[in-house]
Amino acid sequence: MILARVVGTIVATRKDPRLEGFKLLIVKPVAPDGKDEAGYVIAVDTVSAGSKETVIVVSGSSARMAEGCKDKPVDASIVGIVDTVTLNK
Amino acid sequence: MFLGRVVGTVVSTMKDAALTGQRLLIVQPLKPDLTATGKRLVMLDAVGVGAGELIYWCRGKESSFPFLPAEVPTDNTIVGVVDDLHLEPSR
């Protein structure tokens, strides 16, 4: 899983019928210290994340184990909203 | 599976129901010579590790198998604590 920040939304009318009703968000990976990392991911939101929130994104086939994603064509899911990150001293 | 070191923790209240009660840790992946490689990742803990410990972790769908029959959405899980590591000198 990676930490990421919600930076945008996606609207898609023509899509796989199994994705209907899903909220698609654009997330940007961030390091644990909050710095942006390269790239973007489009992820299905299963926890009602909001704009600019730091979230936990699970990718690969495990993304289908998120709530409601079973047998859906999904390879990245938001499975948690981060409250705090603590790094060891 | 890969080596890593536990470098932090994540707290999340709003999360997938299957993640309830799971510990979310930040792990820095390591090379066998224990130098850092790659980005720090968020992982679940299947064995009960502590801060700063040297661990090994597995990747992919298999990382949810320690929690069966629960279907836990994770793609990285800590599956062992390293007691000792011996590396043959490179030729």
Give chain A's domain count.
Answer: 1
Give chain B's domain count.
Answer: 1
Q: Tell me the three-class secondary structure of A12-78, residue by residue.
A: CCCCCHHHCCCEEEEEEEECCCCCECCCCEEEEECCCCCCCCEEEEEEHHHHHHCCCCCCCCCCEEE
Residues 6+ apart with CB under 8 A from A75: A59, A60, A61, A63
Interface probe, candidates B5, B6, B19, B23, chain A, greatest A C-beta count within 10 A? B19
Does any domain span residue B82? Answer: no
Best CA proximity match to A27, nearest among A81, A73, A65, A85: A81
Does any domain span residue B26? Answer: yes
A34 pLDDT band, cuts 50/70/90, is confident
- The enclosing domain of B17 has a CATH number of 2.40.50.220
Residues 6+ apart with CB under 8 A from B34: B3, B5, B54, B85
Does any domain span residue A84? Answer: no
Contacts of B51 in chain A (CB under 8 A): 88
Does any domain span residue B46? Answer: yes
ipTM for the whole complex = 0.84
pLDDT of residue B89: 84
Q: Which domain holds residue B21?
A: 2-77
B33-70 residue pLDDT tens: 899 999 999 999 999 998 999 999 999 989 999 998 98
Q: Which domain holds residue A54?
A: 2-75
A53 pLDDT band, cuts 50/70/90, is very high
Residue with tokens 């997938």: B16
Does any domain span residue A88? Answer: no
Does any domain span residue A85? Answer: no
Which of A56, A81, A88 is facing B42, going by the closest CB pair? A56
Does any domain span residue B64? Answer: yes
Does any domain span residue B87? Answer: no
Q: Do B40 and A32 touch (CB under 8 A)?
A: yes
Does any domain span residue B53? Answer: yes
- The enclosing domain of A65 has a CATH number of 2.40.50.220
Q: Burial level of B69, CB count in 10 A (0-12/13-18/19+)?
A: exposed
Does any domain span residue B86? Answer: no
Amino acid letter for position A37 = E
pLDDT of residue B26: 95
